[in-house]
Structure 1
Amino acid sequence: MTWAVAVALSGAFSVAAGAAVHDRALLTAPIRGIGQLALLRALLRMPLWWLGTLLTMAGIVAHLWALTQAPLVVIQPIGITGLLFAVVLSAVFRRRRPSPAQVLGSLAVSLALAGLLTTVPHAQGSAPDAMGLTEIAVIAGGAMALCVAVGRTRRGALRAGSFALASGIAYAATSAFGRVIGIAALADPTAAVQPMTAVAVGIGLTGGLIMQNAYRTDHFTLAYATLMLSDPIAATVIGVAYFGERLPTDPAHAAIAAGAAVLGAAGVVTLARASGPQRPARAGQPPRSDDLSATSA
């Protein structure tokens, strides 16, 4: 399990770097006031966005491999460790220092992760069958749709948080599919070519597009922190409900886990309060539209 954790850590930092590079791409690109198809076309023409995508994909591959070697409830929370790195890198791209609140909030979330990892039982669960995977896809899709619907009716931080929450659910569901498919592919590589792989890719890509819209709100710190928190929480729920994985049951570990959860929540609240628009307006650009309902191309 040591190698799985190490690979997951490297993947977390790669994903964090990719997120910061994506934020930088959205910061510099003339993509305000446009719909989703136009957004995709603009991003696909940007080398910087492709760099962020490659970093993110490398991190996801590392993460998925780690999921084949260790329980979902152990590997999924490791993604939070990249939070402070993403916040610092994004601040560097914006040519400003991270605020004390951003640093403290990120450290609190990372310490909470360390506390949770010491309490999670390291026991492998059983993979769900096709019906279980179908249920995961349907429930995750419904939750994502609800979050997007809420985000479309809000502005600023609430919109960023709602979209990021939808993305976190998407990534957790994709990880669950990835673990099942990855374990099967280790024994038979052709097992990777199946309908559930297409479902997993579809959920993951949808979550990625929603996250780009979360970055468009110009609340990167809040959006990324919400993503990093909602992803492991959703993964833990999936792991317990469908993989037979366990949560800490003895009083000492339960107390540590509860304390870590409170610390993590405090860290996210601190980051939320420190979050705010930092992108200067550009002359000649139309007003920004962050609404996923926009469809103009």
Structure 2
Amino acid sequence: MIVTVILGLAAAALLGVGFVAQQHAAYAEPLKDMLRVRLLLDLVRKPLWLSGIGAMICGQILGALALQRADVSRVEPLFATNLIFALAVAAAVYREPLGGREWLGAVLVSGGVAAFLVFGQPYGGRVPESVSVVWLAMILILVLAAGLVLAAVRVVLPAKAMLLAAAAGMLFGVQDVLTRDSLVRLSLPGHGPGALVVSWQPYTLFVIALLGILLNQSAFDAAPLRISLPAMTAAEPVIGIVLGVAILGERLRVDPIALAGEVAGLMAMVAGIIMLGRSPFLAKTEQGSYRRPDRR
């Protein structure tokens, strides 16, 4: 368990660093490129964005190692701490101490994660049948994410950023479950890389990851990090936990005391994410960027 926690927190740290670099680069892109592949094609020519993507990929690799050792419900809450690391990076870059809001937000996120793991004690997990009806839960999440994207087209920029970020977080939650499923299949007796190649999960994982990156970069293009990142950070663990239970058959304690602790932990985690997301340090990642004439 200790190794899993270390891997999960290291993954969150790299994700947080990567998101700060990505948003700083994406915010300077014209709004007309949102939700278009052209946005990614422009960003790949920016060294800062590439370094952010590199950090994110390294974080995802460590996250995959954590998911290989433990259930999604046990690992997902650890990923939610990426916002704390993003805040720390912003504070270090601008050489200003953290204030009371940042410390309280950090305590809420960290305490919420700890409470959920202590009270929930996630366990179990299995590989579902490829054609099992439980995969309909994943399809439902993808439909809901698509609905958020369609709604984002018709709203003002701050709401657009939050909706796109939430949709990206939902896709990243699906990605985490597919990663866990693929790794478990790979470890089964009689299974190996060959069996994984002929299954649909790895290919779906790749498509979901690309769509998630396009959505989160579009959110970063639309608004500062304080608006876009909290929605994504909150959506990913919630969706990952829900799908881990629905698809992979993971279990949480459901007695009254445990259930109350789990709910309180998740509520504290989300409240802390929102509080940290409003930190003025994260707002400073937009300084040095500029608004193109079409940014309105």
* Alignment correspondent of 2:193: 189
Match of 2:181, as an amino acid? V
Point out which structure has higher relative CO (alpha carbons under 8 A, 6+ apart). Answer: 2
Matching of residues 249-288 of structure 1 within 5 Å: 249-271=254-276, 274=279, 279=286, 285-288=292-295
Q: Kindly indicate whether residue 226 of structure 2 is the aligned counterpart of residue 221 of structure 1.
A: yes
Quote how far apart the aligned CAs of 1:84 are. 1.1
More moved, 14-23 vs 86-95? 86-95
Quote how far apart the aligned CAs of 1:284 are. 8.3
> 1:215 and 1:96, CA in 2 relative to 1: closer, same or farther beyond 3 A?
farther
> 1:198 and 1:284, CA in 2 relative to 1: closer, same or farther beyond 3 A?
closer
Q: Kindly indicate whether residue 42 of structure 2 is the aligned counterpart of residue 42 of structure 1.
A: yes
Q: Kindly indicate whether residue 173 of structure 2 is the aligned counterpart of residue 172 of structure 1.
A: yes
* Alignment correspondent of 1:73: 73
Cα separation, 2, equivalents of 1:5 and 1:283:
39
Matching of residues 64-103 of structure 1 within 5 Å: 64-93=64-93, 100-103=100-103
Q: Kindly indicate whether residue 143 of structure 2 is the aligned counterpart of residue 142 of structure 1.
A: yes
Query: Match of 1:131, SS?
Result: coil
Query: Match of 2:123, SS?
Result: coil
* 8 A Cα contact 2:87 2:276, kept in partner: no
* 8 A Cα contact 2:8 2:78, kept in partner: yes
Cα separation, 2, equivalents of 1:86 and 1:165:
18
Query: Match of 1:9, SS?
Result: helix
Cα separation, 2, equivalents of 1:284 and 1:246:
48
Q: Kindly indicate whether residue 241 of structure 2 is the aligned counterpart of residue 244 of structure 1.
A: no
Question: 1:255-294, CA deviations, whole angstroms, 9 ceiling, x for partnerless residues?
Answer: 32232233234324434555796535877832326xxxxx
Quote how far apart the aligned CAs of 1:19 are. 0.7
* 8 A Cα contact 1:4 1:70, kept in partner: yes
Quote how far apart the aligned CAs of 1:105 are. 2.5
* Alignment correspondent of 2:159: 158
* Alignment correspondent of 1:32: 30
Quote how far apart the aligned CAs of 1:175 are. 1.1
Query: Match of 2:244, SS?
Result: helix
Q: Which structure 1 residue ranges, 5 or more long, are not aligned?
A: 290-297
Quote how far apart the aligned CAs of 1:234 are. 0.6
More moved, 47-56 vs 98-107? 98-107
TM-score with structure 1 setting the length:
0.86
Question: 1:145-189, CA deviations, whole angstroms, 9 ceiling, x for partnerless residues?
Answer: 011112222223322221111111101111111111112223512
* 8 A Cα contact 1:7 1:63, kept in partner: yes
**What's the RMSD between the two structures over aligned residues?**
2.6
* 8 A Cα contact 1:70 1:124, kept in partner: no
More moved, 221-230 vs 172-181? 221-230
Cα separation, 2, equivalents of 1:283 and 1:243:
45
* 8 A Cα contact 1:91 1:98, kept in partner: yes
Question: 1:50-108, CA deviations, whole angstroms, 9 ceiling, x for partnerless residues?
Answer: 11111111111111222122111001111012211112323555676666434432432
* Alignment correspondent of 1:209: 214
Question: 1:172-220, CA deviations, whole angstroms, 9 ceiling, x for partnerless residues?
Answer: 1111111111122235122342332111110111011100111112231
> 1:225 and 1:282, CA in 2 relative to 1: closer, same or farther beyond 3 A?
closer
* Alignment correspondent of 1:292: none
Cα separation, 2, equivalents of 1:157 and 1:283:
17
Query: Match of 1:119, SS?
Result: helix
Cα separation, 1, equivalents of 2:135 and 2:263:
31
Match of 1:165, as an amino acid? A
Cα separation, 2, equivalents of 1:284 and 1:163:
20
Cα separation, 2, equivalents of 1:62 and 1:45:
26
TM-score with structure 2 setting the length:
0.86
Match of 1:248, as an amino acid? R
